[in-house]
């Protein structure tokens, strides 16, 4: 596995030197983050953590992940348009005594309220834009072979498409230093941010107002600014201008015209691209009001509220039920088969026999499951002893319906070095998570764009059960196809 690269090195000193060269190349390529000390300023920046070596990924699984991405785009788009499915899934059995995700989860409930309000008023936007990233791990089968299993799909603020285009040069550099020129050439070129920008550009064009802008909903403190700038820069080459504003800015300076056109600072907005608004802590009352204003407008939201809801873990679990994909994607048995092949075991914890059964199984074999609340951004899932305690506490309470249970994916670990500022350089046992970026644009009922636009490999040490790059657990990587 990846530690076979390590065998090319004679000693510790060579490893340290190689790591220094890699870090300097990463800085030169723009593999950057703002610092945690000064997350609002680019005066002093640091490199985004990354692996010293590219990690081996079976090329058939990489191809499979690419091949199923257009199906996932279609599926997310179908779910977002199916108000009945969303309602049924998120507020199953709406009677007072019953449990459901939205009754037990305030955050999902508030998103759902906005969704209902917009539906009632009539959806003003006619162009829809999806920028998502479907994430996978490589499950080790009983016979030792790996299988592609989806972890989740991110339908809002899917990140690292910008930095992922900068890391191939770094790994090519590392392999070139080791005189592995042929191997260096095998590192795939990758430019997700360009593809994401093309999607935004298409939506902007279909909106059809030459002077309208793209509004990027930004966080005040944003370490991952360079990732976002990559998309902004691509748009600017197409003469599409982006303004960055917070929810607070929108609430102070945003307004709707009679025809529900959105204006911010007096400028018309064609596309709203959210890089904020996916976790509860990002919403004050003022921010919820700003979100509602944006949703009511005819600007293209990426994502609109229904598409954000389509990315919840509860929806993911319901999609895995027998027969559901067939209803959402009628007449597309091949797409359904490709999608289903990537599903891991997913279990509802709704009150009732099925949920009771799932809890019994998880308590009997905790190492085989993950407990997930309706949250994004890493660090929310529960494993092992913590999961057992939570299940014991939740099992007789209706609150359990706001969680889902998932089969735990167990990839084969391999050795690699995780390079982080101020951390020692050493080989540790790792696992990877592969993400594929998808873009689609729909005008009315017509899909005008549906494609995959690149990948992201993230790698973390095996001792960390949860968390991505932004959470400080995983680091950027590149697949080395084998
Ligand atoms: P989030 O929305 O917080 O990113 P995820 O479902 O992606 O939620 O879970 C966060 C992390 O937890 C993943 O990046 C992965 O490392 C780990 N994880 C999630 N689901 C599983 C699973 N079924 N098996 C193994 N690890 C998992
Ligand atoms: Mg995730």
Domain count, the chain: 1
**pLDDT at residue 95 is higher than 70:** no
Residue 353 lies in a domain: yes
Using the atom order of ligand 1, give the atom closest to the CA of residue 379.
3
**Res 3: pLDDT:** 54
Measured in Å, residue 134 CA sits from the centre of ligand 2 at: 9
**Res 377: pLDDT:** 85
Residue 1 lies in a domain: no
396: which 2 tokens?
């007789």
Alpha carbon nearest to ligand 1 atom 18, residue: 466
Residue 112 lies in a domain: yes
Residue 202 lies in a domain: yes
Q: How confident is the model at residue 98 (pLDDT cuts 50, 70, 90)?
A: low
Residue 312 lies in a domain: yes
**Res 93: pLDDT:** 38
What are φ and ψ of residue 215, in 5° steps? -105, 115
How far, rounded to the nearest angstrom, does the alpha carbon of residue 6 sit from its chain's CA centroid? Answer: 31
- Long-range contacts from 349-358, C-beta under 8 angstroms, 24+ separation: 349/394, 349/400, 349/401, 349/403, 349/404, 349/405, 350/92, 350/99, 350/100, 350/400, 350/401, 351/98, 351/99, 351/398, 351/400, 351/401, 355/400, 355/401, 356/395, 358/405
Residue 31 lies in a domain: yes
Task: Write out residues with Cβ below 6 Å of ligand 1.
Answer: 135, 137, 151-152, 344, 370, 372, 375-378, 380-381, 406-409, 433, 466-468
**Res 35: pLDDT:** 97
Residue 366 lies in a domain: yes
Burial class (CB in 10 A: 0-12, 13-18, 19+), 329: middle
**pLDDT at residue 2 is higher than 80:** no
Residue 164 lies in a domain: yes
Dihedral sign from CA coordinates of 341, 347, 352, 353 = positive
Alpha carbon nearest to ligand 1 atom 3, residue: 378
Q: Which of 381, 430, 477, when mutated, tests ligand 1's pocket best, judged by the most ligand atoms within 8 Å of its CB?
A: 381
Question: Is the model more confident about 472 or about 388?
Answer: 388
Interval 418-429: pLDDT, tens: 999 999 999 999
Q: Which of 148, 152, 473, when mutated, tests ligand 1's pocket best, judged by the most ligand atoms within 8 Å of its CB?
A: 152
Q: How confident is the model at residue 96 (pLDDT cuts 50, 70, 90)?
A: very low
For residues 470 and 2, give the distance between their C-alpha atoms in angstroms, rounded to a whole number: 23
Measured in Å, residue 404 CA sits from the centre of ligand 1 at: 12
Domain residues for the domain of 356 are: 6-481
**pLDDT at residue 264 is higher than 80:** yes
Catalytic residues: 133, 152, 154, 159, 313, 372, 376-377, 458
**pLDDT at residue 325 is higher than 90:** yes
Measured in Å, residue 95 CA sits from the centre of ligand 1 at: 32
Task: Summarize the confidence of residues 386-406 as an average pLDDT.
Answer: 95
For residues 333 and 168, give the distance between their C-alpha atoms in angstroms, rounded to a whole number: 36
**pLDDT at residue 72 is higher than 80:** yes
**Res 94: pLDDT:** 38
Interval 112-141: pLDDT, tens: 999 999 999 999 999 999 999 999 999 999
Instruction: State percent of the chain over pLDDT 70.
Output: 98
Instruction: State percent of the chain over pLDDT 90.
Output: 91
Q: How confident is the model at residue 1 (pLDDT cuts 50, 70, 90)?
A: very low
Interval 31-48: pLDDT, tens: 999 999 999 999 999 999
464: which 2 tokens?
């960390």
Q: Are strands 146-154 and 427-443 parallel, antiparallel or unpaired?
A: unpaired
For residues 119 and 113, give the distance between their C-alpha atoms in angstroms, rounded to a whole number: 10
**Res 99: pLDDT:** 63
Q: Which helix (H) or strand (E) holds 357?
A: helix 353-364
Reduced to 3 states (helix: H, G, I; strand: E, B; else coil), residue 153 is strand
């Amino acid at each position: 596995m990846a530690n076979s690269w390590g065998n090319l090195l004679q000693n510790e000193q060579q490893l340290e030197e190689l790591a220094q060269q890699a870090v300097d190349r990463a800085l030169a390529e723009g593999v950057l983050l703002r610092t945690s000390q000064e997350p609002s300023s680019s005066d002093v920046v640091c490199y985004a953590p990354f692996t010293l070596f590219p990690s081996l990924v079976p090329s058939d699984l990489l191809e499979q992940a690419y091949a199923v991405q257009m199906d996932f785009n279609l599926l997310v788009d179908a779910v977002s348009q199916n108000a009945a499915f969303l309602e049924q899934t998120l507020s199953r059995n709406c009677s007072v005594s019953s449990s459901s995700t939205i009754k037990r989860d305030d955050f999902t409930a508030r998103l759902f309220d906005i969704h209902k309000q917009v539906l009632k008023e009539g959806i003003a936007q006619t162009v829809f834009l999806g920028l998502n990233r479907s994430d996978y791990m490589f499950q080790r089968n009983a016979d030792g072979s790996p299988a592609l299993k989806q972890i989740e799909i991110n339908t809002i603020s899917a990140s690292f498409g910008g930095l992922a285009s900068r890391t191939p040069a770094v790994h090519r550099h590392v392999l070139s230093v080791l005189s592995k020129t042929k191997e260096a050439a095998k590192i795939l070129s990758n430019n997700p941010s360009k593809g994401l920008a093309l999607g935004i550009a298409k939506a902007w064009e279909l909106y059809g107002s030459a002077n309208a802008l793209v509004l990027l909903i930004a966080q005040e403190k944003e370490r991952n600014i360079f990732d976002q700038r990559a998309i902004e820069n691509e748009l600017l080459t197409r003469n599409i201008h982006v303004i960055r504003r917070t929810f607070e800015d929108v609430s102070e300076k945003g307004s709707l015209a009679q025809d529900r056109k959105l204006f911010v600072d007096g400028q018309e907005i064609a596309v709203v691209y959210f890089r904020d608004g996916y976790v509860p802590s990002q919403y004050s009352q003022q921010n919820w009001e700003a979100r509602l204003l944006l949703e009511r407008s005819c600007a293209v939201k990426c994502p609109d509220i229904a598409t954000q809801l389509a990315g919840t873990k509860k929806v993911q679990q319901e999609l895995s039920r027998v027969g559901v994909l067939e209803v959402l994607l009628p007449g597309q048995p091949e797409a359904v088969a490709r999608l289903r092949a990537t599903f891991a075991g997913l279990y509802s914890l709704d009150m009732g026999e099925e949920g009771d059964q799932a809890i019994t199984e998880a308590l009997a074999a905790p190492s085989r499951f993950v407990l997930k609340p309706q949250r994004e951004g890493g660090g929310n899932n529960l494993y092992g002893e913590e999961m057992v305690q939570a299940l014991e506490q939740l099992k007789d309470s209706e609150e359990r319906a706001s969680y889902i249970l998932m089969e735990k994916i167990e990839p084969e670990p391999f050795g690699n070095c995780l390079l982080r500022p101020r951390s020692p350089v050493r080989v540790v046992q790792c696992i990877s998570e592969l993400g594929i970026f998808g873009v689609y644009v729909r005008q009315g009922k017509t899909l005008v764009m549906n494609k995959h636009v690149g990948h992201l490999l993230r790698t973390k040490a095996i001792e960390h059960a949860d968390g991505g790059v932004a959470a400080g657990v995983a680091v950027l990587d590149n697949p080395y196809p084998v």
